[in-house]
Structure 1
Amino acid sequence: MASSAREKKSKLILDVAIKLFTSKGYMATTMDEVAKTANISKGLTYFYFKNKEDLYMAVTKKAFDELKGVFRDIFKQKGRTGLQMLTDLASGYITFTKANRMYNEAILNFMGIMQLYNNELTRNQIHHLILESEHFQKLLDIQHDCGRIGIQMVSHGVKDGSIRPELQPEVTFYTIWAMIIGYERLTGPVGFDEKEIKIHLDNWKPGFIKLMQDMLKGTIQAQKPQVVQASLF
């Protein structure tokens, strides 16, 4: 089978899997259903992807590639300060997660897998078919690609003066990324009962962005309480 034909078949299976994982969820989707929906024989489907775990790792790699594109496009913009890049990244990341729920869940799932993988005592909790997937091995190589671009954004901001010079780029970026992931996760609880916690989603996002900017610029300063002199009588 020609290389181009192989790539088309592989892409078709991957696209169908993404649609099914998005609409039905990973657990409820079967390889048989993927093959049937793609109008490809079950045997040929297994030729391209050894099992559902392998297929999901392939989808996860595509998710990381798509997210890397968001990072790369922002970093390539000319005439932007590092602070402006990170501001755009925060908004771009949130937009990405809303438009690509399945990709976002796959990325977060992989981050959870890595927590187990990094500890020899918990690595055996990962399904062996995931560890055997060639796409999982590729993910190990590319997982920090987005981080590398984000670190460059912080370094650029330190150089152009838009970000505090004492900040360490690696620690700073991964802290910002953790904040953005946390924001995305909490939009559900916040949106469920805004009256209870007195936060509205419409004003939380700009408030979140401003706080992030203030942290990076160093404009957040603790104020000493004023001493008030008063007579007891």
Structure 2
Amino acid sequence: MAVSAREKKSKLILDVAIKLFTSKGYAGTTMDEVAKTAGISKGLTYFYFKNKEDLYMAVTKKAFDELKSVFRDIIKMKGKSGLQMLTELTHLYFEFAMKNRMYNDAILNFMGILQLYNNILTRGQIHPLILESEHFQRLLEIHHDCGKLGIQMVSLGIKDGSIRPELQPEVTFYTIWAMIIGYERLTGPVGFEEKEIKIHLDNWRPGFVKLMQDMLKGTIQAQKPQIVQTSLF
């Protein structure tokens, strides 16, 4: 299907915004700069995206689409167990976050916005232009798409026996997802040299993956302390 002139212009603005948000950050980027870099008028830029908040929500939507493609590629893998898919997801998400720092930050920023949005008492803290963005409204509809694919991976693992059967797929995936996101966020603090803690990125990552696998397989078992009978005399 041929791409219309409108779609081409919208994509151009979006691509330029992504480059500027990546290099200068959200706060350091202006709509004037986006228009100038794209080689179009400021008025035309505002025709496609109402304001910078609307543009950032469009970028966030694209970030979710890119992350969803990672999930889709994994779920399509042939001959992989559910546990292997979740392990692959762990590695590919780390790679996604490293190569697409701005996308990852946009996704996490939206999660924070959504936390405010879910509570009527805190919804007023969200910038009103974000709430008015059609892209924000679209994000509300699709932000669970990745989760649905992840739940499929867990369900597949339970079915094929690679994940223990008593686990509830929804709870299990979102717990693993929280662990993966938390790991990625903590690579900064762990990577910063600290003599008092004995953990380094080169041994934490394989340890993290193994712990996740053991949790899902059910190989983690509490060890009762052995009672040693001794005599004081």
| Residues 1:120 and 2:114 aligned together | no
| 2:103 alignment partner AA | Y
Cα displacement (A) at 1:199: 0.5
Segments ≥4 residues shifted beyond 4 Å: none
SS in 2 for 1:195: coil
Inter-partner Cα distance in structure 2 for 1:188 and 1:202? 13
| 1:61 alignment partner AA | K
SS in 2 for 1:119: coil
- Greater Cα shift, 136-145 or 193-202: 193-202
| Residues 1:176 and 2:179 aligned together | no
> Number of aligned pairs?
232
Find the counterpart in structure 1 of residue 6 from structure 2: 6
| 2:80 alignment partner AA | R
Find the counterpart in structure 1 of residue 70 from structure 2: 70
Find the counterpart in structure 2 of residue 153 from structure 1: 153
Inter-partner Cα distance in structure 2 for 1:196 and 1:190? 11
Inter-partner Cα distance in structure 1 for 2:231 and 2:119? 63
Inter-partner Cα distance in structure 2 for 1:5 and 1:212? 48
| 1:187 alignment partner AA | T
Find the counterpart in structure 2 of residue 231 from structure 1: 231
Find the counterpart in structure 2 of residue 139 from structure 1: 139
| 1:38 alignment partner AA | A
Inter-partner Cα distance in structure 1 for 2:181 and 2:82? 20
Find the counterpart in structure 1 of residue 39 from structure 2: 39
Find the counterpart in structure 1 of residue 202 from structure 2: 202
Cα displacement (A) at 1:140: 0.5
User: For residues 20-78 of structure 1, what are the alpha-carbon distances to aligned partners after superposition, in whole Å with 9 as ceiling and x for unaligned?
Assistant: 11111101100000000111110110000000000000000000000000000000001
Q: Which runs of 5+ in 1 are unaligned?
A: none
Inter-partner Cα distance in structure 2 for 1:156 and 1:182? 24
Inter-partner Cα distance in structure 2 for 1:87 and 1:194? 29
Inter-partner Cα distance in structure 2 for 1:169 and 1:195? 39
Find the counterpart in structure 1 of residue 28 from structure 2: 28
Is the contact between residue 117 and residue 123 of structure 1 (CA under 8 Å) also seen in structure 2? Answer: yes
Cα displacement (A) at 1:161: 0.3
Instruction: Flag the 1:76–1:3 CA change in 2: closer, same or farther, 3 A.
Output: closer
Cα displacement (A) at 1:5: 1.1
Is the contact between residue 17 and residue 34 of structure 1 (CA under 8 Å) also seen in structure 2? Answer: yes
SS in 1 for 2:130: helix
SS in 2 for 1:220: coil
Inter-partner Cα distance in structure 2 for 1:229 and 1:157? 44
Find the counterpart in structure 1 of residue 218 from structure 2: 218
| 1:154 alignment partner AA | V
Inter-partner Cα distance in structure 2 for 1:213 and 1:193? 28
Find the counterpart in structure 1 of residue 97 from structure 2: 97
| 1:7 alignment partner AA | E
Inter-partner Cα distance in structure 1 for 2:147 and 2:3? 32
RMSD of aligned Cα (Å): 1.0
| 1:228 alignment partner AA | V
Cα displacement (A) at 1:196: 2.5
SS in 2 for 1:197: coil
Cα displacement (A) at 1:194: 4.4
| Identical-residue share of aligned pairs (%) | 85
Cα displacement (A) at 1:228: 1.0
Cα displacement (A) at 1:193: 2.0
User: For residues 141-200 of structure 1, what are the alpha-carbon distances to aligned partners after superposition, in whole Å with 9 as ceiling and x for unaligned?
Assistant: 100000000000000000000001000000000000000000000000000024331111
Q: Which runs of 5+ in 2 are unaligned?
A: none
